[in-house]
Amino acid sequence: MRPKNVSAPSPDPLPKDHPRTFAVAGQLVTAPKVASGLYLVATPIGNLGDITLRALETLAGVDIVACEDTRITRRLMERYSISANLKQYHEHNAEQARPKILEALARGQSIALVSDAGTPLISDPGFKLVREVSAAGFNVIALPGPSSVLTALSVAALPTDRFFFEGFLPPKQHARRARLAELARIDATLVMFESGPRVQDCLVDLAAVMGEREAAICREMTKLHEEVRRARVSELASIADTLETRGEFVLVIGPPSADAGIMSDDALDDLLRASLARDSVKDAVAHAMEVSGRPRREIYARALELAKDGNGAE
**Cα–Cα distance for residue pair 251/255, rounded to 1 Å:** 13
Q: Residue 260 — very low, low, confident or very high, per pLDDT cuts 50/70/90? A: low
Give 159-189 pLDDT, tens digit per residue.
Answer: 999 999 999 999 999 899 989 988 988 999 9
Residue 27: beta bridge partners? Answer: 24
pLDDT classification of 40: cutoffs 50, 70, 90: very high
Distances, alpha carbon 215 to alpha carbons 156, 179, 224, in Å: 7, 18, 22
β-pairing, 110-113 with 37-41?
parallel
Residue type, 300: Y
- Residue 314: is its pLDDT beyond 50? no
Over residues 246-273, mean pLDDT:
83
Beta-sheet strands, E only, within the chain: 21-24, 27-30, 37-41, 64-67, 86-88, 110-113, 140-143, 163-168, 189-195, 214-219, 227-232, 248-253
What angle in degrees, to the nearest 10, is found between the helix axes of 281-292 and 296-309? 140
- pLDDT tens digit sequence for 109-138: 999 999 999 999 887 778 999 999 999 999
3-state secondary structure of 39: strand
* Global pTM value: 0.78
Taking the chain, what is the end-to-end CA distance rounded to the nearest angstrom? 24
